[in-house]
Amino acid sequence: MENKRPEFGITGYSVLSIVTEMHNYFRDLQSYYKIAKGDLVSRLEATSDEATIEELQDKIREANEKITFFHVLNNSISSVDTVLHTEKMITEFTKNPPNS
């Protein structure tokens, strides 16, 4: 049985660049939902209408859930990004690309 080096299945992009882009994207999404939550809280504080309060509370719960998910994704991909940018991994993926 031949031991063949796996090939990265996405052409035109490196493992390093994709992981870095995902890290930035998840971080930005986390920030986006934090800002959205802040806007919702401001709207909640400015209203006394019970139906609007309930609707805004639901949206705040949904924003909190997304903030939590993107926090986990951001932290996870941050670890991957950090490891991939060590000298040994940079050498592995740039001097010995998987498709060579």
The DSSP output letter for 95 is I
Q: What is the per-residue pLDDT across 69-96, written as a single tens digit (0 to 9) for each?
A: 999 999 999 999 999 999 999 998 887 6
Q: Does residue 47 sit within a domain?
A: yes
C-alpha 93/C-alpha 85 separation (Å) is 10
Q: Does residue 4 sit within a domain?
A: no
Please check the confidence at residue 67 and state whether its pLDDT lies above 70: yes
Q: Does residue 1 sit within a domain?
A: no
pTM of this structure: 0.82
Number of domains observed in the structure of the chain: 1
Please check the confidence at residue 99 and state whether its pLDDT lies above 60: no
Q: Does residue 7 sit within a domain?
A: no
Split at pLDDT 50, 70, 90, the class of 100 is: very low
Identify the domain containing residue 27 by its residue range.
16-95
Q: Does residue 3 sit within a domain?
A: no
Q: Does residue 75 sit within a domain?
A: yes
Q: Does residue 90 sit within a domain?
A: yes
Please check the confidence at residue 97 and state whether its pLDDT lies above 80: no
Q: What is the per-residue pLDDT across 22-63, written as a single tens digit (0 to 9) for each?
A: 999 999 999 999 999 999 999 999 999 999 999 999 999 999
Sign, CA dihedral 96-90-82-11, equals: negative
Q: What is the phi/psi pair of residue 2, to 5°?
A: -80, 135
Q: Does residue 9 sit within a domain?
A: no
